């Protein structure tokens, strides 16, 4: 299991991560845009928003992030708030599916589920929630190579 920081922005992810890259060095492990989504239904300005970016910081830490969209905020009923745009991301491999479910279920007790733990188009079990103490979490159990 690996714990990483996951940051959300609203249209500033690319600029923010280019800045972080200039500070920490290295190369992006992955950068995908909303326009690359199957059946992408985003506004013209949002098609170039970042769906996901990963910047390895060292052998143990990856800084990750994405842009939120107006549609996503409306669906989850969670407005984007600059400064409150941080998640702890729990990353597990395919052999740890049961642990992913256990952690999701245990940590989300009395919290607010943003997205239930379910299989995604990127080949993972993924879910997100805010725990009972207001901490935002993501659980990503990668089942297939990206």
**Is 115:76 a contact under the CB 8 Å cutoff?**
yes
Range of the domain at 91: 85-146
Q: How confident is the model at residue 146 (pLDDT cuts 50, 70, 90)?
A: low
**Is 90:139 a contact under the CB 8 Å cutoff?**
yes
Q: Are residues 53 and 93 in the same domain?
A: no
pLDDT, residue 108, reads 93
Alpha helices in the chain (DSSP H): 13-24, 70-76, 97-107
Q: What CATH code is carried by the domain that includes residue 63?
A: 3.30.720
pTM of structure: 0.72
Q: Are residues 58 and 89 in the same domain?
A: no
Q: Cα 6–146–140 angle (5° rounding)?
A: 40
């Amino acid at each position: 299991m690996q714990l990483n920081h996951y940051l959300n922005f609203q249209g500033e992810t690319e600029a923010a991560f280019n800045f972080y890259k200039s500070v920490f060095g290295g190369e992006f492990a992955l950068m995908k845009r909303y326009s690359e989504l199957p059946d992408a239904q985003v506004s013209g300005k949002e098609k170039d928003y970042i769906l996901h970016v990963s910047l390895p910081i060292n052998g143990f830490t990856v800084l990750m992030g994405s842009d939120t969209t107006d549609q996503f905020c409306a669906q989850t009923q969670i407005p984007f708030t600059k400064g409150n745009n941080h998640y702890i991301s729990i990353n597990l491999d395919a052999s740890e599916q049961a642990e992913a479910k256990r952690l999701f279920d245990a940590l989300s007790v009395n919290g607010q589920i943003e997205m239930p733990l379910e299989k995604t188009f990127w080949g993972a079990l993924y879910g997100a929630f805010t725990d009972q103490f207001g901490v935002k979490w993501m659980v990503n159990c990668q089942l297939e190579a990206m």
